[in-house]
Amino acid sequence: MEHIPKTSVLYNASCPVCNFEIRHYAQYADHNGLPIRFDDLNSDARGQWGLDADTAARRLYVLHEGRLTSGIPAFLVLWAQMPRYSWLARVIGLPGIRHIASAVYDYVLAPVIYRWHLRRLRKQSAAASD
């Protein structure tokens, strides 16, 4: 019986940090037969999300049962779908911890990773024009 994904993840496979983490989750989901689909924002799949490439590159997006989330709330939804990580969703989802984790993700991690992404794009563009 084939599982129809009820959870979809949009991530940047060209980002080494993003790709490393999300590929781990994808392998875990595949190995355990979990109904989670992983879409690379650099593929045609992004069109189904209704997000432009720049917006999609700024943070993780998860669509679960028709509800789109991003950032830490998206991680919480994703982790809750995976038995090995459901405890992490419960801990990070606690009110004080969730607030701190969201602030760190929104104001430190996501912006740093996004700037790194832009720098990689500029280098690729410069190399292509040489």
- Across 121-129, average pLDDT: 87
Return the half-sphere exposure (C-beta side, CA atoms, 13 A cut-off) of residue 102: 14
The Cα–Cα gap between 119 and 13 comes to 15
| Domain segments of the chain as ranges | 7-129
Q: What is the tens place of the pLDDT at every residue in 34-48?
A: 999 999 999 999 999
- Across 92-103, average pLDDT: 98
- Across 56-71, average pLDDT: 96
Q: What is the pLDDT of residue 111?
A: 97
